[in-house]
Structure 1
Amino acid sequence: MSTVIDQAVEARLVAADPRMLTIPASLHYDCDDPFAVRMTFPAPATLEGVEVSWSFGRELLSAGLEESTGDGDVRIRPYGYERTVLEFHAPEGTAIVHVRTGELRSFLKRSAALVPAGHEHLHLEIDADLAELLRDAC
């Protein structure tokens, strides 16, 4: 059984232009980092022309489907019944995208099948990670 989920999603970029551009994006979940979700935008979809990834809590994504959440670099809120807004704040500016809520729910359901919410700590390799951190300390 795979311990990684990659799911393509359709994101709609909110910009000054009244029409929203559709851009490809992907969601990524890995049991080795059970608390996190990564959303990646390919190089052609970014202003810098390089792939951009944002990592944020799976719990943040889940909560953002129901109510406005987040007060840092990533903020998520529902937008009607069918869409969810994800805001990504960086020193260079803010990117706002709409994603179909159904796609996000599907992704979260798949990730919960790998690691149920509340059981993330069971998938951490704390002893190995601590040993690696301390390896060079002596």
Structure 2
Amino acid sequence: MSTVIEQPVEARLVAAAPRMPSIPATLHYDRRDPFAVRMTFPAPATLEGVEVSWTFARDLLVAGLHEPEGDGDVRVRPYGYDRTVMEFHAPEGTAVVHVRSGEIRRFLQATNELVPTGREHLQLDLDQDLAELMGDAGQ
């Protein structure tokens, strides 16, 4: 069974538009990092002209479908019947995109089938992580 889920989504750029009103972004989930989701934007859609990825909590995405969530670099809130607003705050500026809520729900359902919510801790290998950390510290 695969340990990674990738789902293309169409993000509609609302603010800070570099060159594209609609962006073919990708949502990523990896069971080896079970609490996190990553959203990647292609190079043509970014101000820097390089691919940009934002990593944030899966719980933030879940909660943001129903009510405004987040007070840091990534914020998520519902908008209308089937849209979700995602804000990405960086020193260079803020990007605001709309994503179809149905696409996000499908993605979250797939992540939940891979790693059920509340069972993320079972995916962690704390002994291995500690060994790697201690190995890095000794070098």
TM-score (norm 2): 0.94
Structure-1 residue corresponding to 2:133: 133
| SS in structure 2 at match of 1:56 | strand
Where does the alignment leave 5 or more consecutive residues of structure 2 unmatched? none
Q: Which amino acid aligns with 1:108?
A: L
Cα-Cα RMSD: 1.4
Distance 1:46 1:96 in 2: 12
* 1:42-121 matched pairs, under 5 angstroms: 42-121=42-121
Structure-2 residue corresponding to 1:2: 2
Query: What do residues 21-78 of structure 1 show as CA deviations (whole Å, max 9, x unaligned)?
Result: 1111000000000000000000011111000000000000000000000000000000
- Conserved? CA contact 2:13–2:98, under 8 Å: yes
**Judging changes above 3 Å, is the alpha-carbon distance between structure 1 residues 127 and 12 closer, same or farther for their aligned structure 2 residues?**
same
Kindly tell me the number of residue pairs found equivalent between the two proteins.
136
Q: Which amino acid aligns with 1:35?
A: F
TM-score (norm 1): 0.95
1:16 Cα deviation from its structure 2 partner: 7.0
Q: Which amino acid aligns with 1:26?
A: T
Where does the alignment leave 5 or more consecutive residues of structure 1 unmatched? none
Q: Which amino acid aligns with 2:48?
A: E
Determine what percentage of the aligned residue pairs are the same residue: 74
**Judging changes above 3 Å, is the alpha-carbon distance between structure 1 residues 77 and 125 closer, same or farther for their aligned structure 2 residues?**
same
